[in-house]
Structure 1
Amino acid sequence: MRSVEGALVTRTTSAANRMGENISASNRHLEHVYSSFQTTWKTKETRWER
């Protein structure tokens, strides 16, 4: 019985780790999009000021 519980825990943990990796990857993607958006916004602002 113990081995079945251990296998379930391992499987759940690895699934949670994969989900965490996916979340952090999408967070990095969002940060990249946000920073590039900020950069374009700043360049547009400076263009308008001139």
Structure 2
Amino acid sequence: MAYNLDKKLKEFEFERKQVLHHLALLDANIATLKRAIELTQQESDVA
């Protein structure tokens, strides 16, 4: 029983690590898109 709980805990910890990594990638993508939008708007303002 304890082995199964420990195994499940390790699985959840691994899954949590993967989710946090994925969220970090999404944050980076969002930042990139925001920067691209800002640059596009600046170009529109100049033109």
Partner of 1:34: helix, strand, or coil?
A: helix
Task: List structure 1 runs of 4+ shifted beyond 2 angstroms.
Answer: none
> Which of 3, 7, 27 is equivalent to 2:10?
3
Per the alignment, residue 43 of structure 1 pairs with none
| TM superposition shift of 1:2 | 1.6
C-alpha root-mean-square deviation of aligned residues, in Å? 0.7
In structure 1, C-alpha distance between the alignment counterparts of 2:17 and 2:46, rounded to whole Å: 43
In structure 1, C-alpha distance between the alignment counterparts of 2:10 and 2:43, rounded to whole Å: 49
In structure 1, C-alpha distance between the alignment counterparts of 2:39 and 2:10, rounded to whole Å: 43
- The structure number with the bigger radius of gyration is 1
In structure 2, C-alpha distance between the alignment counterparts of 1:16 and 1:4, rounded to whole Å: 18
> Which of 27, 39, 46 is equivalent to 1:39?
46
- Sequence identity percentage: 10
In structure 2, stretches of 5+ residues that fail to align are: 1-7
The answer on 1:24 being equivalent to 2:35 is no
Q: May I ask how many residue pairs the two structures share in their alignment?
A: 40
User: TM-score with structure 2 length normalisation?
Assistant: 0.77
